[in-house]
């Protein structure tokens, strides 16, 4: 058998393999639920439309239609109904929102995740439900996101704390973000911001490695909660932070307890 034939056989076996580790369905519900809350609030409050103040686009009822489609698809994915068409439609709708109205990285990321989650119940042609390849590709995407953002943060503009300083000053003075007084005082120091910036870059690169290796689980969750908890409180990044914590916690394989491992061995022997 040629190398090409063996590679194709392995690829076909990987695509057809079921996911023994689990977590795909739970992540689909969590991801869809998080963004369902966002889209419901967004369409009700018109926050994306009002962003035209600083990111101009022509006001259009088409945006409201796209957002309503995302709400309907989000409901379907949360309750596990018509997963493949709902996920595919949501991927197109989120991509349309990003390309046509609001080129936000979160929307591009969300479109790709919807596309993958459309196959979380096997899709129209898969032999396994849930398929292993969906979780593998999602974890690869997570590792890439952390590696890319961590590498970008190695620039002097981030490491000297200036970016973090400007962001937190804007939130504190322009948006009246309710920082506790000790935290506001600490963030007003460029030296403190520089230390936090270096910790953030190091943490993201470390998390990229842990996600790629898929172990240890406890360290991955601790890093994700620390990084995104900080991002939520300090830089007002809510929905993306919740998404990434859910992804790390639900998609990474959890270590089996000794009792579960022993039970599995006994079943094999029997």
Beta partners for 131?
Answer: 18
Predicted local confidence at residue 177, as pLDDT: 85
**pLDDT of the chain, 270 residues: tens digit per residue:** 576 777 887 877 877 788 887 789 999 999 999 999 999 988 887 766 655 554 555 567 788 889 999 999 999 999 999 999 999 999 999 999 999 888 889 999 999 999 999 999 887 766 667 888 999 999 999 999 999 999 999 999 899 999 999 999 988 888 888 888 888 889 999 999 999 999 999 999 999 999 999 999 999 999 999 999 998 888 888 899 999 999 999 999 988 754 444 444 444 344
pTM: 0.86
Predicted local confidence at residue 266, as pLDDT: 44
Predicted local confidence at residue 89, as pLDDT: 98
Q: Where are the alpha helices (DSSP H) in the chain?
A: 3-16, 24-45, 47-50, 61-78, 83-96, 105-117, 132-152, 156-159, 162-169, 181-187, 190-213, 217-235, 239-251, 258-269
């Amino acid at each position: 058998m040629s190398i090409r034939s063996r590679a194709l056989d392995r690829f076909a076996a990987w695509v057809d393999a079921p996911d023994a580790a689990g977590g795909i369905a739970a992540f689909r519900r969590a991801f869809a639920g998080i963004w369902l809350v966002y889209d419901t609030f967004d369409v009700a409050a018109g926050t994306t439309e009002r962003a035209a103040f600083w990111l101009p686009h022509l006001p259009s009822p088409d945006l409201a239609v796209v957002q309503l489609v995302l709400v309907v698809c989000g409901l379907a994915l949360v309750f596990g109904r018509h997963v493949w068409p709902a996920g595919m439609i949501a991927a197109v709708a989120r991509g349309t929102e990003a390309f046509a109205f609001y080129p936000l990285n979160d929307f591009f990321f969300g479109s790709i995740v919807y596309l993958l989650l459309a196959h979380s119940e096997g899709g129209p042609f898969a032999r396994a439900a849930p398929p292993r390849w969906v979780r593998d590709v999602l974890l690869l995407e997570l590792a890439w996101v952390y590696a890319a953002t961590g590498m970008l943060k190695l620039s002097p503009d981030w490491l000297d704390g200036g970016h973090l300083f400007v962001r937190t000053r804007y939130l504190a003075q322009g948006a009246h973000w309710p920082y506790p007084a000790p935290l506001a005082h600490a963030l007003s120091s460029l030296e403190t911001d520089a230390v936090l910036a270096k910790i953030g870059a190091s943490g993201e690169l470390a998390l990229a490695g842990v996600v790629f290796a898929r172990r240890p689980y406890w360290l991955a969750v601790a890093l994700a909660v620390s990084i995104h908890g900080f991002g939520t409180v300090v830089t007002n990044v809510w929905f993306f932070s919740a998404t990434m914590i859910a992804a790390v916690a639900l998609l990474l394989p959890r270590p089996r307890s000794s009792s579960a491992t022993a039970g599995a061995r006994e079943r094999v022997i029997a």
